[in-house]
Structure 1
Amino acid sequence: MPKKPKYKILSFSTTMRNPKRIAAFLEVLARFENRTLTHALIMQIVALLIQERLYETEYERKFYKEKLKNGLEFNQTEIQEIIINSPQDHKEAGFEHGWESRFDTWYKLSKELGFCYYQMGKPLLISNVGHILINAVQTEGEDGVRVAGVFLNALMKYQRNNPFRRVRNENAPLPLLLNTMRVLKEKTGDSKIHTQEIPFLLCWQDGDHKALADYILDFRYANPHFQYSDDLIYEKALKLLESTNTNRFKKSQVCQEGVDDYIRKMRQTQLITLRGGGFFIDINTFESAKADYVIQHYTNYLKHKDRLSYFNYMGTIDGVILDISTSIDPTTQESVKLKTLQHFSNTYTPKQIFDELENLNGKKSSKDTLFKLIPEPTRLEFLTSIALKQAYKNLEVLPNYSVDDEGLPTSHASGGKPDILCYDPSTHAIAEVSLLCGRAQLANELIPIARHLADEKTQHPSKHNFALFIAPKIHEDCQRYARFVKHDENLEICNLDIKGFIKGLQNTIHIAELLHG
């Protein structure tokens, strides 16, 4: 007799956090669409993921350092050597121990969100939403609005007790959050939820948002001024889960890891913002019309017992949600963005910003309450804009990332626009940033940069026009290309790794001096 499902903490797979990485893995899977999933097919997919640098093993890092450093391709013999010498100590239900289970770990979240469907011995399926995500990310610079729309479509439908999960909790997390905030607003005039209260949302048993709002308010009354201890939050969360199993539900998972991942997921929809320096979450008023639509149409949902029917439900796009425009005009958004940029430039020291850039350079986690919740590629644009603003007092810095009503970045600059525009009386510069390393920098970054720079030079012929490209490491092909376009088209592109960028900011008083650093 099967065990009765238990209450569990809301937990998404953290193997895949970056939407662009999810889409890249999904694009590889889509090459085998409608093919029957077998062990042999999984191994073909594994080989492609290794070949395209989407998955890197310890064996590669030990024996192929130079190839990794220079972005050189593996031949088929080398790929098979890597696979054979990289046994995966991993087991997932329904898959053999090893690479099969690793495959399931990679794609489990995409399956739950309705982007793909797979089962051993059955055809691989990519949904309409999955194809939209792949296409959105493949467009030059990534279409942040469309990517956010795809994740909103997925998360507004997502159900705790879906057929891919055995949990007793019955709610839809995003509608539950939005409805709870709305009730808090009606009762107190303030819809914000403290990040330490998020474990209550993660562990809530059903979809009764009124009871959840009352639970939060009663807790606040007993513990005023948001002076909560993790021990107290943990104790309350375990009671909601009807559990005393501290090994199954660790305090770090309930009070930190689960909270951070929840905030990242909810912010991917662009409906949620951070307030109070990252200590509160709230509805992004720029997207209030979308929030209203989700509350109206997805609070009550039809439960799906069959995996395929749930996949078809999740994998269908709600065209209405994509067509709802932002509630605020572009001029207001731009004003909020620049005001926030100035605030961060004044509030943080240059050293703090340099340390955050170094974290990205070394793939280290940020400890900052707010920065850690901004996805890394977007965070790099934000930090670079702040650093430029701090270093050059007479420089006007105009980033093109999208923002919420707090002026915090929600997605990085979309295709067709430079990441950051920089002006002073004599200079017109563009700055492009990327976490991408290896020879792919040339096609994905340098060639578009040259195109952007040529356009800007035509529009501003009286000024000194140049471009900065900033990344953790610069591939030698990029240096070679910069020399070529300088000779061939008289376009100045300065490639700077993050360490060189920081050093340049510390030793110059004018942005153009970075060209000669």
Structure 2
Amino acid sequence: MARRKLERKPLSFSTTMRNPMRIAPFIEALLPFEGMRLDNDVIESIIKEVLRKKIYATMPEKRNKVFNEILNDSELEFTDEQLEKIIKISPQNHKEAGFDRGWPSRFDTWYKLPMEFGFVYYKMGEKIEISDAGHLLAQTLEMPLKHANKQVQNIFLNALAKYQTDNPFRRNLIDNAPFILFLQTVRILGEKYNWNKTGIYRLEIPFITCWPNADASELARYINDFRIRYGKRPSEEVVYDACLELLDSTNENRFKIDQITKEGVDDFIRKLRITGLISIRGMGRLIDINKFEIDRVKYLIDTYANYQLFENEYEYYLYAGTIDNNLIEIISNENEFDIADIRLNTLNRWAKETDTVTIDEELKILSSRNGKSKHELLKYIDGPTRFEFLTSIALKQQFPAIKVVPNYAIDDEGMPTFTARGGIGDIEVFGPKDDVLVEVTLMQNKNQATNEIPGITRHLKEFGDHENKSVYSVFIAPTLHPDTHYMIDFTKFKEKLEIIGYTINDFVNELRDSKEISDLKIDD
């Protein structure tokens, strides 16, 4: 029997999983339960595992002194008794269709989007499944971040290429594949209409999320006409009214302006950004196709513009969770560009045009477990990558005469997409007297020492001899684990290599008091 469809609703991937990078740890928590039949007892065990891994925290948990201490200390773990108490004192006033009110419904909100992306499948009374794509995503948590980046990008690219607004897990009169619709519309706007800049402006994204069908040509014409009438900087109210018309609705309580012009836009950009196929231009105003990925974009449009429709949830899950190896194996076009120049030009521009207070505040946000950037562009860059970018900017701002060479991956705009790949340092700094490897991590537990310090030691050895220069490394993290201090001392004793460790806050303070980079070379 066909599903009953209700109304047109703007695309909204998830309010629980705004950051797609959160999905991997949720899937990892589900791994021990793969193959089990889902019931409330299994759900409670999954919830305990999620809480144990500190992937999700409740307000009563944060207000409890003992629980909050455990929550904020990576070395401490919850006992089973403590987990049971947390569940008891944190009743979830939440109800999802097909699940009991409370924690069972909370479980569904966690895993609903991963199921739509084809990573997992579950239904009360049926066996829990994790797809190949889901397993690959969970595996990235065990990989060094620098090696996991490309795999994460490919997995989400595969998922979003296949994602349909009216998939069997939703009830929506809007029928399109939003990522493909975006790519097609950008390409048509660039080829057919005479605008100075390609791409779609932030306040045109709601037209994508509210567009009723898959007709990209008509959508491009609509956007062109809208620009002619209202310009490229329309008011949110004008965009909102246009979207209500597209939704065939006058219900402003059902579809609020912030939902359509702010929350939905941020959600859309965050999800697309992780694929590596879009660039953000004009300090966040313009969303465009990454020119490094033109061949992959062409394949996506050719392959997925005419998509298969599904009525059966399980069949859609199988479709979404199957990896398209042809898509993954396409080589980037970035070798046609001077990557190093693009990266450095963007870094230098940010160092000149952004005030030091903004950069320092953004760095300090990364030192907080719950800190969130509100910057119009930086908020779309995931934390580890943003850390490398901000540190590079801060160094260039403070020491404009020296050469700062970051190694993070970039889009065609020069904005970072992922952290530096494995085998090279994060940031290389070359001065008249000092050549310095700057390494950063958001890791804070005891693995900080074993995962980071041996790699830094290896990078320092490979950095080579720099005649008449002092060569050393500066290592920065939110906090420095005691084992890290030990490993730093051991490296200095055994290898005769110097690593100076800083917390983020100490680094920012010391940097802004420094006249030259050698001033950072203090005993940690």
**Is TM (by shorter chain) over 0.5?**
yes
Deviation (angstroms), 1:454: 4.4
CA–CA distance in 2 between the matches of 1:444 and 1:238? 51
Q: Which amino acid aligns with 2:97?
A: A
For normalisation by structure 2, the TM-score amounts to 0.92
- 1:198-235 deviations in whole A, cap 9, x for unaligned? 111110000011111111111111113x1311111111
Which residue pairs with 2:161 in the alignment? 156
- Asked if 1:187 is matched to 2:192, the reply is yes
Which residue pairs with 1:103 in the alignment? 107
Which residue pairs with 1:67 in the alignment? 70
More displaced, 377-386 or 303-312?
377-386
Q: Which amino acid aligns with 1:186?
A: E
Distance change >3 Å, CA 127–CA 459, structure 1 → 2: farther
Q: Which amino acid aligns with 2:38?
A: L
- Asked if 1:383 is matched to 2:429, the reply is no
Tell me if structure 2 keeps the 8 A contact 1:140–1:414: no
% identical equivalent positions: 43
Question: Within 5 A, what are the aligned runs for 1:179-218?
Answer: 179-190=184-195, 191-218=198-225
Which residue pairs with 1:178 in the alignment? 183
Distance change >3 Å, CA 108–CA 174, structure 1 → 2: same
Q: Which amino acid aligns with 1:437?
A: Q
- 1:454-505 deviations in whole A, cap 9, x for unaligned? 444x565874333323233333333343334333433433232221111011
SS at match of 2:435: strand
Distance change >3 Å, CA 25–CA 449, structure 1 → 2: farther
Which residue pairs with 1:118 in the alignment? 122
SS at match of 2:521: helix
Deviation (angstroms), 1:30: 1.9
Deviation (angstroms), 1:298: 0.5
Q: Which amino acid aligns with 1:160?
A: T
- 1:257-277 deviations in whole A, cap 9, x for unaligned? 111111111111111111122
Which residue pairs with 2:142 in the alignment? 138
Which residue pairs with 1:262 in the alignment? 268
Distance change >3 Å, CA 153–CA 51, structure 1 → 2: same
Deviation (angstroms), 1:137: 4.2
CA–CA distance in 1 between the matches of 2:294 and 2:59? 46
CA–CA distance in 2 between the matches of 1:320 and 1:414? 23
Q: Which amino acid aligns with 1:67?
A: I
Question: Which of 404, 418, 431 is the aligned partner of 1:424?
Answer: 431
Tell me if structure 1 keeps the 8 A contact 2:3–2:311: no
Unpaired runs of 5+ residues, structure 2, are: none
Question: Which of 469, 479, 493 is the aligned partner of 2:475?
Answer: 469
CA–CA distance in 2 between the matches of 1:493 and 1:99? 47
Distance change >3 Å, CA 50–CA 494, structure 1 → 2: farther
Question: Within 5 A, what are the aligned runs for 1:11-22?
Answer: 11-22=12-23
- Asked if 1:393 is matched to 2:400, the reply is yes
Which residue pairs with 1:485 in the alignment? 491
Tell me if structure 2 keeps the 8 A contact 1:402–1:410: yes
CA RMSD in angstroms comes to 2.2
Tell me if structure 1 keeps the 8 A contact 2:4–2:171: no
CA–CA distance in 1 between the matches of 2:23 and 2:237? 35
Deviation (angstroms), 1:147: 1.4
SS at match of 2:252: coil
CA–CA distance in 1 between the matches of 2:104 and 2:413? 43
- Asked if 1:84 is matched to 2:106, the reply is no
For normalisation by structure 1, the TM-score amounts to 0.93
SS at match of 1:494: strand
Which residue pairs with 2:44 in the alignment? 43
CA–CA distance in 2 between the matches of 1:330 and 1:187? 25
CA–CA distance in 2 between the matches of 1:449 and 1:83? 42
Deviation (angstroms), 1:69: 4.0
CA–CA distance in 2 between the matches of 1:120 and 1:450? 51
SS at match of 2:334: coil
Q: Which amino acid aligns with 2:376?
A: T
Tell me if structure 1 keeps the 8 A contact 2:20–2:270: no
Deviation (angstroms), 1:354: 1.1
SS at match of 2:165: coil
SS at match of 1:329: helix
Q: Which amino acid aligns with 2:284?
A: G
Tell me if structure 2 keeps the 8 A contact 1:284–1:404: yes
Deviation (angstroms), 1:334: 1.9
CA–CA distance in 2 between the matches of 1:247 and 1:132? 41
- 1:237-276 deviations in whole A, cap 9, x for unaligned? 1111111121221111111111111111111111111112
Deviation (angstroms), 1:308: 0.7
Distance change >3 Å, CA 411–CA 330, structure 1 → 2: farther
CA–CA distance in 2 between the matches of 1:69 and 1:127? 32
Q: Which amino acid aligns with 2:191?
A: E
CA–CA distance in 2 between the matches of 1:439 and 1:147? 24
SS at match of 1:478: helix
CA–CA distance in 2 between the matches of 1:19 and 1:413? 20
Deviation (angstroms), 1:25: 1.7
Q: Which amino acid aligns with 1:366?
A: S
Tell me if structure 2 keeps the 8 A contact 1:20–1:137: no
